[in-house]
Amino acid sequence: MGKAESIEQKKIRQKELARKYISSDEVDQDVLEELNRLCNPIYLYIYNGYHIKLPHMDRDDYLLIGYITLWRVLEKCREKPDIINSFNAYLFSSVRNAYAAEFRKYVMKNPLIWVRYEEPGGSYNISSAFFLADNYLKKDREKAKRYYHNH
């Protein structure tokens, strides 16, 4: 029970710090650092959820992406203060999307990825990420075309 209370206390503290951060016109580095320390478990939880780790990135790179995303979320909160009411969920989604964006960038530059499947045979299979990336680009192009034709 004590652990659940401490999680709720952390969420409340995160909201307090976010409110304090956006109330100032300048970047309050101390508040940002303390908030980042409280949000590190979120970054690590999402990082540990990824089954495919990018070979050029390590744990610290993901923590840095989380920190940058935190700053972007706080800047977004300055524009839309209502976000603070669901700060934890908004940050979680933003960090998850930032990690996914890094993965997409990697896939676009490296069309084939080796994926190891833990099967009885233990063999390697090639996943055609190129096909997925091509489909993603087509959807993106169509979305861009619709946007520019409508504006």
Mean pLDDT of 118-134: 48
pLDDT at 144: 60
* Residue among 108, 86, 83 nearest 22 (CA): 83
**Cβ 35 vs Cβ 17: under 8 Å:** yes
Which amino acid appears at position 72 of this protein?
Answer: R
pLDDT at 98: 93
**Least confident among 31-35, 45-49, 101-105, 106-110:** 106-110
Average pLDDT along the chain: 79
pLDDT at 51: 61
Residue 10 in this model has a pLDDT that exceeds 70: yes
**Cβ 66 vs Cβ 37: under 8 Å:** no
Mean pLDDT of 113-137: 50
Q: Identify which has the larger pLDDT, 110 or 31.
A: 31
pLDDT at 105: 85
Mean pLDDT of 16-37: 91
Three-class DSSP labels, 77-115? HHHCHHHHHHHHHHHHHHHHHHHHHHHHHHHHHCCCEEE
Which amino acid appears at position 109 of this protein?
Answer: K
Q: Position of tokens 């993901």?
A: 62
Cβ-count burial of 5 within 10 angstroms (0-12 exposed, 13-18 middle, 19+ buried)?
Answer: exposed
| Residue 149: strand, helix, or coil | helix
Residue 145 in this model has a pLDDT that exceeds 90: no
**pLDDT, tens digit, for every residue of 48-102?**
887 667 778 888 999 999 999 999 999 999 999 999 999 999 999 999 999 988 8
